[in-house]
Chain A
Amino acid sequence: MMVMMALRLALRSLLRNRMRSALTALGVIIGVAALLVTVVLGEGTRKMVAAQIASMGSAILMIVPGASAQGGFMGGTGSGRPLQRDDVEAILQARSVRYAVPVDRTVAQVVSSNLNWQTPIIGTTTDYLALRDWPVARGRFFNAAENDTAAKVCVLGRTVAQNIFGESDPVGQQLRVKQMPCEVIGLLAAKGQSAMGSDQDDVLIMPSLTLRTRVLNQNRQYVSTIMVSATSEDDLAAAESEVVSILRQRHKLTDDQENDFTVRNLAELVQTQQKIVETQTGMLRNVAAVSLLVGGIGIMNIMLVSVTERTREIGIRLAIGAREKDILLQFLVEAVVLSVMGGLLGIGLGMLAATLFAKLGGGMPVDFSAFWMVLGFGVSVAIGVLFGFYPARKAARLDPIDALRYE
C-alpha cells in the first residue's frame, strides 16, 4: 500500500518535470535498447547457426590435404600427399562412416542460349545429396554410371536455375560450363544460406569425373576434398579417428610423423563463425554497459537535485510523522519509475533496432521472447534501485528542523 502511494507520488513528481525526466531517462533508453539489440541479435545468430548446422548435417567431416594449419579451414595446401579417389573408397569401409564423397570445387561461367552466370561448381558423386540431406525438386540426380563415364550432365541449385532459365523448367535444357556442353537433369530443392552467409542454392553440381577431366583438365586420380558423414551424431568422434587411422595407414605414415591431411568438422567451423558475430555484438554490449552507467549516474544526479529542491517538502513530511523508510521509499520509487520508463521506451526502441539490423544483416530470425522484455525491465529496475538509493537515503536522513528551515 505504501508502494502504491509512492508510485502515485513518483508519477506526479516526474510528470511535473516532463522534459527533465525525459532527458534523464535517455541514458537508460539507449542502454536498454542497445542491450536488447545485443541479446536479440546474439540469440538470432545462435538460432540461425543452429538451423544451418541442422541443414548441413552436423555429423559431417571434411578432409583436406596438408597438415592442419591453425585456424584455416582449408588447412595447408601442397604439402604432403594429395587425397586420392581410392581414399574415398577406403574411408567408406569404416564402421562409423555412412557416406564418403569426393568434392571438387571451382567457379565458372555457365552459359545458356541467351544468358550467362558465374557460379560455384561442385564435382562429386551420387551420395552427395544423401550426405547433405538435400532433396531433388524436379528431375533426378546423376547415378554412379554417369559418374564413372564422366557424363555431360548437371544438376542446378535454385538460384542458378532462376538466373539462367527464369521461371521455365530447366530440366532437359542444355547449357555450357566453360566450353563443355551439358544437359540439366535435375533441379535441387531450395536450401538457403550457409553458416558462412553464402547462398547454398547458387551452385551447379556435376559428376566428380566430369568436372575433373572435362572442365578442369586435372588428373582423375586425385580429389581436393573428401566429405564424410558419420552414422550418427554420436559416432562423429569415432568416425573421425577411424578416418585418421585409415588415411595414416594408406599414406604410410610412421608413428612419429604428423598427419599429412586435416580433418575438420562443420560444428567447429560454425563455432568460429559464431565467435565472429559475438565479437561484433560485444561492441554493442559495451555501448549498452556505458549507456546504462551514464544513465544511472544521470538518474542519481537528477534525484540529488530533486532532493535538494524538495528539502522543505521532506521536512514537512518528516515533521508530520513520516519515518526514514517512508521518505526512502518515496525517492527510491521515483528513481525506479524514472528508470523503468526509460527501460520500457528502450525495449521498444531496441525491438525496432533489432528488427532493422536483422533485416540489413540478411534476414536472420529475430525472436522477441518475453524473457528479453523481462530482462530489459529488470535491468532498468536494477539501475533505478542502484543509482536511486544514495539520493533517497540522503533525503531520508535529512534533519527535520534543518529541512523545514531550508529556503
Chain B
Amino acid sequence: MTSRPWVAWGVCRLNFFVVEPGASHKVTLPLPHMTDAVENSQPLLRLSKITKVYTRGDLAVPALRGIDLFIEQGEFVAVMGPSGSGKSTLMNLIGCLDRPTSGAYFLEGQDVAQLSRDELAGVRLRTLGFVFQGFNLLSRTTALENVELPLLYAGMKSVERAERAKEALRRVGLDARAGHTPNQLSGGQQQRVAIARALVTRPKLLLADEPTGNLDSRTSIEVMALLQELNAEGLTVLLVTHEPDIASYAGRLLLVKDGRLRTDEKRAAMSAKQALSEWRDEETLQ
C-alpha cells in the first residue's frame, strides 16, 4: 500500500502535464482511522433488530423487518436487492438521516438512536460522508465551495477551509476544476466533487446510495477505483447498487429482500483499477 502512488488514476489522466504522478505534494489526507482500526477492536457500527415502519395515513408500510449487522472499520460493503426492498431506508438509518422504529444502532460504540436532531447532524458532520445517485451538489456554486460546505458547518476558518477543500479536490483529481460550477462538469466529475465533499471532513464511514446509477459504465468504474483507493487508505465504504459488476468491487456483499438481510458474504474484491487498464488496452487494440 505504501509503495503505490497516492495519486488516483483520475489525477494522472486529467493533470498529466500539471502534476507528476508520485511527486511529493504533501497532500495525503491523514486518515486517523487507520490507526484506530488497530487499537480499537469494537466494530465501526452495529445494528441490532432494527425495524422501520413508515405510516401512510392509516397504512403501515414495514420497510425494514429486523436487521442485525456488524461492519468493521476498513470494510468495503455492497448492498444489493430488488427495488423497494429497503436498501435506501437502511442507508438513511445508518446515515443518521432517520431514526429506526425499533432496535439499537451503535456507531463507534454510541447509541445514535437516542440522539437529538442536532446531535445526529453533528454525527453526520464528523463521522459520516454521503454520496448520492443524483450527486446533490449545490447548483451555481463552484466545486470548491461545494467541497467547503461541510467545513463551514464545522465552523472552520476560511483560510483553513479553502486549504482543506483544495486538498480534497486534489485527492479526487479535480483541483484544476475548483472554480467550475456543477453544470460545467461531467457526471463523473460531479460525482468526484461529491466524493471530495464527503471526504473533506475526514469521516469514518462513506455512505453511497447508487453512486454510479447516473453514470456510464466506464465512468462508473473510475468512481469505483477512487472508492477502492480511499478504502485501501482505511475509509470504510458502504454502497448500494443494483449492478452486480459494481458490487463485485466490494469485499462484502449484503443482499436485502423484503426488509430482511438474506445474504451476508465476504469474498475477494475485483480491482477497479485493473478493470480500467484492461478497458484501456481494449481501446488501444480497436
Interface residues of A (CB under 8 A from B): 1-2, 5, 16, 312-313, 315-326, 400-401, 404
Per the 8 Å Cβ criterion, residues 110-167 of B in contact with A are 117-118, 121-122, 124-126, 130, 132, 136-138, 140, 149-150, 152-155, 157
Taking a contact as CB atoms closer than 8 A, the residue among B98, B132, B138, B150 that contacts A321 in the complex is B150
B176 adjacent to chain A (CB < 8 Å): no
If A316-B138, A320-B124, A320-B125 touch, whether A404 touches B150 (CB-CB below 8 Å) is: no
Q: What residue in chain A is nearest B156 (Cβ atoms)?
A: A1
The reply to whether A313 and B138 contact each other, CB–CB distance below 8 Å, is yes
The reply to whether B97 and A323 contact each other, CB–CB distance below 8 Å, is no
User: In the complex, how many residue pairs between chain A and chain B have their CB atoms under 8 Å apart?
Assistant: 55
Apart from the given pairs A1-B157, A400-B98, A401-B92, 17 other A-B contacts in the complex at a CB distance below 8 Å: A1-B155, A5-B152, A316-B138, A318-B97, A320-B125, A321-B122, A321-B124, A321-B150, A321-B153, A322-B121, A323-B121, A323-B122, A324-B117, A324-B121, A400-B97, A401-B97, A404-B97
Interface residues of B (CB under 8 A from A): 92, 95, 97-98, 117-118, 121-122, 124-126, 130, 132, 136-138, 140, 149-150, 152-155, 157, 197, 201
The reply to whether B118 and A404 contact each other, CB–CB distance below 8 Å, is no
CB distance from A402 to the nearest CB of B (A): 10
Q: What residue in chain B is nearest A321 (Cβ atoms)?
A: B125
Residues in B neighbouring A5, C-beta threshold 8 A:
152
A322 to B197, CA, bound (A): 14
The reply to whether B197 and A320 contact each other, CB–CB distance below 8 Å, is yes
Taking a contact as CB atoms closer than 8 A, the residue among B126, B153, B201 that contacts A322 in the complex is B153
The reply to whether B155 and A319 contact each other, CB–CB distance below 8 Å, is no
Q: What residue in chain A is nearest B157 (Cβ atoms)?
A: A1
A322 to B126, CA, bound (A): 11
The reply to whether B153 and A326 contact each other, CB–CB distance below 8 Å, is yes
A400 to B125, CA, bound (A): 13
Q: What residue in chain A is nearest B152 (Cβ atoms)?
A: A5
The reply to whether A320 and B117 contact each other, CB–CB distance below 8 Å, is no
CB distance from A381 to the nearest CB of B (A): 24
A316 to B95, CA, bound (A): 13
Residues in A neighbouring B149, C-beta threshold 8 A:
317, 320
Q: What residue in chain A is nearest B128 (Cβ atoms)?
A: A321
Q: What residue in chain A is nearest B89 (Cβ atoms)?
A: A401
30 A-B pairs with CB atoms under 8 Å apart are: A1-B155, A1-B157, A2-B155, A5-B152, A313-B138, A316-B137, A316-B138, A317-B149, A317-B153, A319-B130, A320-B125, A320-B149, A321-B121, A321-B125, A321-B126, A321-B153, A321-B154, A321-B201, A322-B153, A323-B118, A323-B122, A324-B117, A324-B118, A324-B121, A325-B118, A400-B98, A401-B92, A401-B98, A404-B97, A404-B132
A401 to B97, CA, bound (A): 7
Residues in A neighbouring B97, C-beta threshold 8 A:
318-319, 400-401, 404
A16 to B181, CA, bound (A): 15
Residues in B neighbouring A313, C-beta threshold 8 A:
138
Residues in B neighbouring A325, C-beta threshold 8 A:
118
Residues in A neighbouring B125, C-beta threshold 8 A:
320-321
Residues in A neighbouring B150, C-beta threshold 8 A:
320-321
Residues in A neighbouring B155, C-beta threshold 8 A:
1-2
